[in-house]
């Protein structure tokens, strides 16, 4: 997992070329007139999703992982927490949609020591297949947010 802000000076040499490209896309893409939906940038290799959603209580959001894609979640406008913990394959599976939608949901498990990452304007978090994440958790009150999720095929790294 990588956590940062596009306005912070970073040493991009620490990231793969694909991750550097993803961060550059976040910096350069004007999503003002883009609305909820998927926008392929490089076929199935790189997909930009616009999510216009309402955050909710953590207990109503499901921890998830992906196997074919890396998630680069970027907060355009709003506030949310994204839960995170390493996938140690110890938590019981709630729903497996890996073949159909590249997502596997886990049951709630208080023993995993989940960290809640604060996502505010400009923040991004990059989740790899071994990273369980729980997006859209509210900070305080429920809030309408706009975010980009760049889906990067794992085999492009």
Residue 12 has pLDDT above 70, yes or no: no
Distance of CA 74 to CAs 42, 54, 70, 126, 138, Å? 19, 15, 13, 9, 16
> What is the pLDDT, as a whole number, of residue 7?
85
Comparing C-alpha atoms, which of 33, 18, 81, 91 is closest to residue 55? Answer: 81
Q: Is 98 helix (H, G, I), strand (E, B) or coil?
A: helix
Comparing C-alpha atoms, which of 150, 152, 77, 149 is closest to residue 119? Answer: 77
Assign 117 a pLDDT band (cuts: 50, 70, 90).
very high
> What is the pLDDT, as a whole number, of residue 15?
85
pTM, two decimals, is 0.92
């Amino acid at each position: 997992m990588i956590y940062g802000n596009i306005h912070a000076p970073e040493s991009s040499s620490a990231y793969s070329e694909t991750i550097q490209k993803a961060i550059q896309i976040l910096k350069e893409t004007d999503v003002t007139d883009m609305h909820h939906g998927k926008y392929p940038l490089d076929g199935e290799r790189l997909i930009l999703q616009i999510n216009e959603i309402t955050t909710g209580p953590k207990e109503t959001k499901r921890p998830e992982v992906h196997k074919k894609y890396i998630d680069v979640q970027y907060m355009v406008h709003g506030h949310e927490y994204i839960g995170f913990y390493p996938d140690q394959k110890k938590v019981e599976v709630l729903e497996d949609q890996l073949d159909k939608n590249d997502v596997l949901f886990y049951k709630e498990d208080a023993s995993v020591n989940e960290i809640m990452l604060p996502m505010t304007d400009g923040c991004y978090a990059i989740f790899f297949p071994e990273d369980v994440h729980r997006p859209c958790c509210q900070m305080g009150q429920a809030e309408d947010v706009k975010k980009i999720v760049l889906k990067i095929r794992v085999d492009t790294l």
